[in-house]
Amino acid sequence: MLQAIGLTSTPRRDRPPAVDDLTFEAQPGSVTALLGATGSGKTTALRMMLELEPGRGVTYFRGRPLHRITHPAREVGVLLGAVPGHPARTARGQLRMLCAAAGVPASRADDMLDIVGLAGLRDQRLGTLSVGMDRRLGIASALLGDPHTLLLDEPAAGLSPRENSWLHGLLRAHADHGGTVLYTTDDPKQAARHADHVVTISEGRLVADQDAAAFARTRLRPRVAVRTPHAARLAAVVTREARAAQRSVEVVTEDGNRLCVYGSDCAEIGETAFRHGVLLHQLADEIGDTGPTPTPLTAPAPAPGSAPTPVTAPTPALAPGSAPAAAPVTAAQATGAPVPAQESRPAPGSRPEPLPEPGPAPLPRKPLRSPLRPLRYELHRMLGVPTTHMIAVAALATSLALAVFLGRSGSTPLPTALAAWPGLLPLPPAALGAGLLGALSFGDEYRYPAHSSGRGTVPRRLGLLLAKLTVTAVAALLLALLVAAVDLGALRLVYGGDVIPVPRNWPSMCASWAGLSVGCAWAGLLAAGVFRATAAGVAAVLAVPVVIAPLVQTAVVGPSVRSIAGLPSRLRELAWAQWPHESDRWLLAVARVVAQPVATALVLSLTALVCAYLFTGLRRRARW
Q: What is the pLDDT of residues 66-94, one digit of tens each?
A: 888 888 888 999 998 777 788 999 999 99
Question: Is the C-alpha dihedral spanning 351, 357, 363, 364 positive or negative?
Answer: positive
In this structure, the dihedral spanned by the alpha carbons of residues 230, 232, 233 and 234, taken in order and rounded to 10 degrees, is: 80
Determine the pLDDT at residue 475: 96
What are the start-end ranges of the E strands in 402-475? none
Question: Is the C-alpha dihedral spanning 445, 390, 547, 554 positive or negative?
Answer: positive
Determine the pLDDT at residue 363: 63
Give the N- to C-terminal CA distance of the chain in Å, as an integer. 24
Neighbours of 584 (CB within 10 A): 16
Determine the pLDDT at residue 574: 59
Alpha-carbon gap, residue 604 to 555, rounded angstroms: 13
The pTM score is 0.73
Q: Tell me what the mean pLDDT of segment 496-525 comes to.
A: 82
Neighbours of 105 (CB within 10 A): 12
Determine the pLDDT at residue 365: 52
Distances (CA, A) of 159 to 173, 280, 290, 324, 365: 19, 30, 16, 13, 34
Side chain identity at 177, as an amino acid letter?
H
Are 209 and 230 in contact by the 8 Å Cβ rule? The answer is no
CB-based burial, 56-93: b 16+ in 10 Å, e otherwise: ebebbbeeeebeeeebbbbbbbbbbeebbbbebbbbbb
Q: What residues have CB less than 8 Å from 124, skipping those under 6 apart?
A: 90, 91, 118, 133
**pLDDT top residue among 462 and 427:** 427
Q: Which of 74-88, 186-200, 408-422 has the highest mean pLDDT?
A: 186-200
Distances (CA, A) of 401 to 319, 422, 490: 59, 12, 9
Q: What residues have CB less than 8 Å from 605, skipping those under 6 apart?
A: 519, 523, 540, 543, 544, 548
Domains of the chain with CATH codes: 2-211 (3.40.50.300), 221-335 (3.30.70), 373-616 (no CATH)
Q: What's the CA angle centered on 424, arms 421 and 429, to 5 degrees? A: 40
Q: What's the CA angle centered on 476, arms 470 and 478, to 5 degrees? A: 100
Determine the pLDDT at residue 323: 36
Q: Is 606 helix (H, G, I), strand (E, B) or coil?
A: helix
Q: Tell me what the mean pLDDT of segment 591-596 comes to.
A: 54
Nearest to 93 by CA among 137, 62, 58, 39: 137
Residue 237 has pLDDT above 80, yes or no: yes
Q: Tell me what the mean pLDDT of segment 580-592 comes to.
A: 53
| Residue ranges in 448-461 assigned as alpha helix (H) | none
Q: What residues have CB less than 8 Å from 44, skipping those under 6 apart?
A: 9, 18, 19, 53, 204
Alpha-carbon gap, residue 253 to 249, rounded angstroms: 13
Calculate the average pLDDT of the chain. 79
**pLDDT top residue among 418 and 299:** 418
pLDDT band at residue 263 under the 50/70/90 scheme:
confident
Helices and strands (H, E) in the chain, number of each type: 21, 13
What DSSP character marks residue 163? H
Alpha-carbon gap, residue 95 to 85, rounded angstroms: 10
Neighbours of 132 (CB within 10 A): 17
Side chain identity at 586, as an amino acid letter?
W
Q: Is 397 helix (H, G, I), strand (E, B) or coil?
A: helix
Residue 165 has pLDDT above 50, yes or no: yes
E strand or H helix at 382, and its extent?
A: helix 373-383
Alpha-carbon gap, residue 386 to 464, rounded angstroms: 22
Residue 322 has pLDDT above 60, yes or no: no
Nearest to 155 by CA among 116, 99, 125, 200: 116
Determine the pLDDT at residue 585: 54
Alpha-carbon gap, residue 338 to 228, rounded angstroms: 11
Q: Which of 75-89, 120-134, 400-414, 600-614 has the highest mean pLDDT?
A: 120-134
Determine the pLDDT at residue 73: 84
